[in-house]
Structure 1
Amino acid sequence: MSGGYIDIVCNIFTPEAVVGGMTGIDDAFKAKVRMDPAMRDGITIEDYLRRMDAAGIERSLLIAVRAGDLNVRLSWEVPYEMIAEICQRYPDRFSGLAGIDQTRGMKGLRELEQAVNDYGFVGAHWYPHWFGCPPDAPQIYPYYAKCCELDIPIMMQVGQNLVYSSERRLPSVARPILLDQVAIDFPELVLIGIHVGVPWTEEMISMCWKHDNVYTAGDAYAPKHWPQSYVHYANTYGREKVLFGTDFPVIDPIRGVQEVDALGFRPESHRLLMRENALRIFKKIPR
Structure 2
Amino acid sequence: METLLSGYIDIVCNIYTPEAVENGWTGLDDDFKRQVRMPPDMFGGVSIDDYLRKMDRAGIERSLLIAVRAGDLRVRGSWEIPYKVIADICAAHPDRFSGLAGIDQTRGMQGLRDLTQAVEEYGFVGAHWYPHWFGCPLDAPQIYPYYAKCCELDIPIMMQVGHNLVYSKERRLPSVGRPILLDQVAIDFPELPIIGIHIGIPWTDEMISMCWKHENIYTAGDAYAPKHWPPQYVRYADSYGSHKVLFGTDWPVIDPERAVKEIADLGMRPASHAKLMRENALAVFKKLPR
Same fold (TM over 0.5): yes
Structure 2 unaligned regions, length at least 5: none
Offset at residue 129 of structure 1 (A): 0.2
Question: Is 1:126 the equivalent of 2:126?
Answer: no
Q: 1:93 is matched with which residue?
A: 96
SS in structure 2 opposite 1:52?
helix
**Superposition pairs for residues 138-153 of structure 1, below 5 Å?**
138-153=141-156
Match of 1:200 in 2: 203
Q: CA RMSD in A?
A: 0.7
Q: Which amino acid aligns with 1:119?
A: Y
- CA distance in 2 between counterparts of 1:3 and 1:257 reads 10
Looking at structure 2, the residues matched to 181 and 141 of structure 1 have their Cα atoms a distance apart, in angstroms, of 11
Q: Structure 2 CA distance, aligned partners of 1:153 and 1:51?
A: 27
Q: Deviations over 1:70-114 (max 9, x none)?
A: 000010000000000000000000000000000000000000000
Aligned to 1:218: 221
* Structure 1: runs of 5+ lacking an equivalent: none
Partner in structure 2 of residue 8 of structure 1: 11
Tell me the amino acid that sits aligned with residue 21 of structure 2.
V
Aligned positions, number? 287
**1:181 aligned partner:** 184
Alpha-carbon separation, structure 1, partners of 2:43 and 2:7: 27
Contact 2:125–2:155 (Cα < 8 Å) also in 1: yes
Query: Where does residue 209 of structure 1 map in the other structure?
Result: 212
Higher mean displacement: 31-40 or 138-147: 31-40
**Contact 2:6/2:59 (8 A) holds in 1:** no
Structure 1 stretch displaced more, 203-212 or 37-46: 37-46
Measured in 1, the distance between the counterparts of 2:83 and 2:34 equals 29
Report the CA distance between 1:210 and its aligned residue. 0.1
SS at match of 2:115: helix
Q: Secondary structure at the match of 2:65?
A: strand
Residues in 2 aligned to 1:37 and 1:93: alpha-carbon distance in whole angstroms: 27
Supply the distance in 1 between the matched residues of 2:40 and 2:232 (Cα, whole angstroms): 33
- Counting only pairs closer than 5 Å after superposition, residues 49-64 of structure 1 correspond to structure 2 as 49-64=52-67
CA deviation after TM superposition for structure 1 residue 272, in Å? 0.0
The answer (yes or no) to whether the contact 2:6–2:60 under 8 Å persists in 1 is no
CA distance in 1, matches of 2:280, 2:128: 18
One-letter amino acid of the structure 1 residue matched with residue 41 of structure 2: A
Residues 10 and 63 in structure 2, CA contact (< 8 A), matched pair in contact too: yes
Aligned pair 1:167/2:170, yes or no? Answer: yes
Match of 2:80 among 77, 82, 92: 77
Distance 1:219 1:38 in 2: 23
SS of the residue aligned with 1:62? Answer: strand
**Whole-Å Cα distance in 2 between the matches of residues 212 and 3 of structure 1?**
28
Distance between the aligned counterparts of 1:117 and 1:167, measured in 2?
36
Report the CA distance between 1:3 and its aligned residue.
5.2
Tell me, in whole angstroms, the C-alpha distance in 1 between the residues paired with 2:43 and 2:261: 22
In 2: Cα distance, 1:45 partner to 1:36 partner: 18
Deviation (angstroms), 1:36: 1.3
What amino acid is aligned across from residue 20 of structure 1 in structure 2? N
> What is the SS of the residue equivalent to 1:98?
strand
Q: Establish whether residue 252 from structure 1 lines up as the match of residue 255 from structure 2.
A: yes
CA 1:226 to 1:191, structure 2 compared with 1: closer, same or farther past 3 Å? same
Query: TM-score scaled to structure 2, two decimals?
Result: 0.98
Aligned match of 2:35: 32
Q: Write the letter of the residue equivalent to 1:7.
A: D
Map residues 259-270 of structure 1 onto 2, 5 A cutoff: 259-270=262-273
Distance in 2, Cα, partners of 1:178 & 1:77: 25
SS at match of 1:84: helix
Alpha-carbon distance in structure 1 between the residues aligned to 2:170 and 2:288: 37
Q: 2:24 aligns with which of 7, 21, 25?
A: 21
TM-score, normalising length from structure 1?
Answer: 0.99
Point out 4+ residue stretches in structure 1 off by more than 2 angstroms. none
